[in-house]
Amino acid sequence: AEFLHPDEQKFFDVALGLVQTAGRLVRDAFDTPTSVVMIKSSSTDLVTETDQAVEKMLIDGLSKAFPDHKFIGEESVSGGAKIEFTDAPTWIIDPIDGTTNFVHRIPMIAICVGLTIKKQLRAGIVFNPITRELYTAQTGRGAFKNGFPIHVSNNKTINTSVLCASMGIHNVKAMGGKWLEMAQSNIRKQIEAGVRGHRSFGSAAINMIMVSQGCVDAYVEYGLHAWDMAAPAVVLLEAGGVMFDPSGSDFNLMGRKILCAATKELAMEISSKLTHADFEPEA
Ligand code: 2AM
Ligand code: CA
Ligand code: CA
Ligand code: CA
């Protein structure tokens, strides 16, 4: 596989070292919960001092190593600000995906660091520092869990699949009852179509990782941001998975929604059953 930039391997190696250090920060805070919890837009939208410290540490480290790189980080993007996404090497960072899990000491959280160059996904690092599961991928070079290759399932039909579709609780608050109805009706349709089971892990990245390693067969979600999806998207694609907009059209990293699956057949079957939101997320 060709690199888009001559220093791409170095970019990845530096990021990986920083993520491992960040993992120790998060693990220490998880075991000794002194972290201050702050409410952002509502009681379902939390941030802790650990989220902020980890994001700062990653951005400081990467910008010191690569002064001309750009950053899109959850805790650095101030409310409602338009995200500037350019051709420059860009690190897309979620310091803790699954902050509610973190605050409630549920061990399903992920540090997510993705890299785009010329707006193309190039590398993804997704690290659960509690279970010490490290998922890495570089475009064209495969996906790995703690160094061992991972692959999606071969499932092509709903009735042999375990699906993941979160209720999008954030969107319920932002968009009112209409949203709840849509989320419920989509899950209901999947159950009626004979799905084998439903799971949701409270972290968009872990949901995507579950598809990447063949545990779950597909995942659909509205309301996500680029930092939830960038890093796990590289892992998913390199693990052989597919990614679309829930409507079945092309995936857009900035489009705030995703349908990912083990196979295109399964993705299209799910897409055909969904009520598609006229989706204008507020936050
Ligand atoms: P976070 O923990 O980084 O905030 C379950 O809550 C998942 O949804 C997490 O991955 C969480 O990311 C993400 N999430 C946060 N805000 C959201 C929103 N407005 N819409 C959809 N998902 C959101
Ligand atoms: Ca958040
Ligand atoms: Ca997130
Ligand atoms: Ca986060």
Residues 23 and 161: their CA atoms lie apart, in Å, by: 32
Q: Which atom of ligand 1 is nearest to the CA of 205?
A: 10
Residue list, ligand 1 pocket, CB within 6 Å? 74, 94, 97-100, 168, 170-171, 202-204, 223-224, 228, 283
Number of other CB atoms surrounding residue 189 within 10 Å: 17
pLDDT in tens, the chain (283 residues): 899 999 999 999 999 999 999 999 999 999 886 667 888 877 878 889 999 999 999 999 999 999 999 999 999 987 667 789 999 999 999 999 999 999 999 999 999 999 999 999 999 999 999 999 999 999 999 999 999 999 999 999 999 999 998 766 666 666 666 777 877 888 888 888 889 999 999 999 999 999 999 999 999 998 899 999 999 999 999 999 999 999 999 999 999 899 999 999 999 999 998 877 666 655 5
Torsions phi, psi of 3, nearest 5? -85, 150
Q: What is the 204 CA–ligand 1 centroid distance (Å)?
A: 7
State the Cα–Cα distance between residues 167 and 154, nearest whole angstrom: 26
Is 68 annotated in the active site?
A: no
Catalytic residue among 48, 99, 116, 136: 99
Residue whose CA is closest, atom 11 of ligand 1? 98
Burial of 146 (C-beta count, 10 Å sphere; 0-12/13-18/19+)? exposed
The interface pTM score, or ipTM, of the predicted complex is: 0.95
β-sheet bridge partners, residue 48: 37
Q: Pairing relation of β-strands 162-165 and 218-222?
A: parallel
User: In CATH, what class is 158-273?
Assistant: alpha beta
Architecture of domain 8-149: 2-Layer Sandwich (3.30)
Alpha carbons 142 and 149: distance in angstroms, whole number: 7
Domain ranges of the chain: 8-149, 158-273
